[in-house]
Structure 1
Amino acid sequence: MATTLLTPKAELVAKAHQQMQHELSDTLWSMTEKLALTCRILFDAGHDSGLAGQITARAETPGAYYTQQFGLGFDEITPSNLVLVDEDLNVIEGTGMANPANRFHSWVYRARPDVNCIIHTHPLYIAALSMLETPLVVSHMDMCPLFDDCAFLKDWPGIPVGNEEGEIISTALGGKRAVLLSHHGQLVAGSTIEEACVLAVLFERAAKMQLIAMAVGEIRPIPQALGCEAHDWISTAKRSQTSFAYYARRALRSHPDCLA
């Protein structure tokens, strides 16, 4: 016989979070393995744009982070061809060079000690939305991790290889986890690689949904309180780990060389 049909919602939410902590296992991949998997996951999710875009993760060495070797596409990244660079993009470990546009990552890391992974890409639907100079509108439950958590930079500052762009983009991001960059693309800043990867996947889907909805009518907002509730319900470390693990299993089926 059911015993929870009269249980308050807050109690059910707390119980579900507790059960997820106990039942859902942690991911066991290394940092470089997670980065390589993230590149393949995002490639499959439509974030590929030739050599454009960078994925970085803060290293244990202060002022250093891992990123992909410039010249390789997301579908070619493995743990062995990542490079470790300092804030000036000098290569500390690995061969080759980092994407010169990585400079603004250094600015974000300096401004946000809570951020350990940055994903910047130019996926199709986000890029199309950015051409309209309109903010991301979150009006669906599944996209609520971005609810009131996605900033907007309306004025394009040009190619992000100078320090000016780093200051502008990091300021636009502020304390949020994502920013839509007009005439450019998206940036996600996560506390973990898993969180950043999952948010980047959601971001592109949210842009696609917004463009489809805008084509047929006016997007109706969701109540602020319910949007915040859904944001907090989905935005947990355990949910990010579990979603990332699913995406990773799917990516490994398509890219068995990823962790070679």
Structure 2
Amino acid sequence: MKEDHMQVSLSYQLRHELVLACHILVSQKLDSGPFGNVSVRIPETNQYWINPSGVTFNQIKIDDVLRVDLDGNILEGNRQSHPGEIIHRAIYRLRPDVSAIVHTHSDNTVVQSLLGIKIEPLTQLGASIHNDQGIYTGYTGPVRSSHEGILIAEALGNYSVVIAKNHGLFTASRTLQEALWDFIVCDKACQIQLQALQLGIKQAELISDEYLQKSRQEVRQKQNQFMWTNFVNSL
């Protein structure tokens, strides 16, 4: 009985945090209507929780969240799965170390994806991401096949970020808090880089390699839990 209670408590906690992540993305104006996915792996299983199709991030509730296995079967929940679930499934298969994935079609990340280039180390934000990102250039429209999901997962490789050309950006990490904060950092870094391009700054001085790891630790690894608490308290 105690073990069953713990499983129920964990189930509720994971879904609750997923809903909070969706609401935080809305509060930061990073949602994109019915597009985008947030998922979190259920520890020690081949299953995960993910937002469904047809429910916007600002409207999602705990009962809307779906429990899905790595074959795409819905094990719990009454809504339809989102087509983007294919990508999450592929990443979880390829990366057993990943426990959470965040993806929306925020304006800055989508425009960055149109360029098909990586986030440059122009500031501490960009420097914290620069050596931790992959690029996927095989976009053929909305992802509908497991094969394309696998290709995006392979482009992610061992990185925490993958920019899918003409599509957007995915973050994958050990915790939902990390994946969410990485997405927010990426969006801001994209915004700065795009503004620099608009101003005609072509030869901006880049942060040197010796500071890239330090930036990653200071901006991403040390701040994600603090920022999560701050965002939640602001909802």
TM-score, scaled relative to structure 2: 0.88
Matched, 1:225 2:225: no
Q: Does the aligned pair in 2 maintain the 1:66–1:85 contact within 8 Å? A: yes
Question: Matches of 1:89 and 1:64 in 2, distance apart?
Answer: 9
Indicate which of 46, 49, 54 corresponds to 1:63: 46
Percentage identity across aligned positions? 26
Q: Secondary structure at the match of 1:76?
A: coil
Deviations along 1:116-147, one digit per CA (max 9) or x if unpaired, are 00112111011112122222213211343313
Could you say what the CA RMSD is over the residues aligned between the two structures, in angstroms? 1.7
| Alpha-carbon separation, structure 2, partners of 1:142 and 1:152 | 18
User: Equivalent residue for 1:198?
Assistant: 181
Give distance in 1, aligned partners of 2:63 and 2:86.
22
The 10-residue stretch of structure 1 (88-97 or 201-210) with the greater mean CA deviation from structure 2: 88-97
Give the gaps of 5 or more residues in structure 1.
Answer: 1-28, 253-260
TM-score when scaled to structure 1?
0.80
Q: Per-residue displacement from partner, 1:192-228 (whole Å, max 9, x unpaired)?
A: 0000010111111111111001112123211001122
Query: 2:7 corresponds to which residue?
Result: none
1:75 and 2:94 correspond: no
Whether the aligned pair in 1 keeps the contact of 2:92 and 2:98 (CA below 8 Å) is yes
Q: Give, as a single letter, the amino acid of the residue that structure 1 aligns with 2:122.
A: S
Work out the number of aligned pairs and report it: 222
Q: CA deviation at 1:61?
A: 6.1
Q: CA offsets per residue over residues 79-130 of structure 1, 9 Å max, x none?
A: 2221111123222112112102211211101111110001121110111121
Report the Cα distance in structure 2 between the residues aligned to 1:89 and 1:221, rounded to whole angstroms.
Answer: 42
What does 1:244-259 align with in structure 2 at a 5 Å threshold? 244-250=228-234, 252=235
Q: Give ranges in structure 2 of 5+ residues lacking alignment.
A: 1-11
Q: For the structure 1 residues 103 and 95, does the alpha-carbon distance in structure 2 shift closer, same or farther, using more than 3 Å as the test?
A: same
Number of the residue aligned with 2:111: 128
Amino acid at match of 1:52: F
- SS of residue matched to 2:58: helix
SS of 1:108's equivalent in the other structure is: helix
> Which structure would you say has the larger Rg?
1
Q: How does 1:136-151 map to 2 (within 5 A)?
A: 136-151=119-134
Q: Does 1:105 align with 2:88?
A: yes
Give the structure 2 partner of residue 32 of structure 1: 15
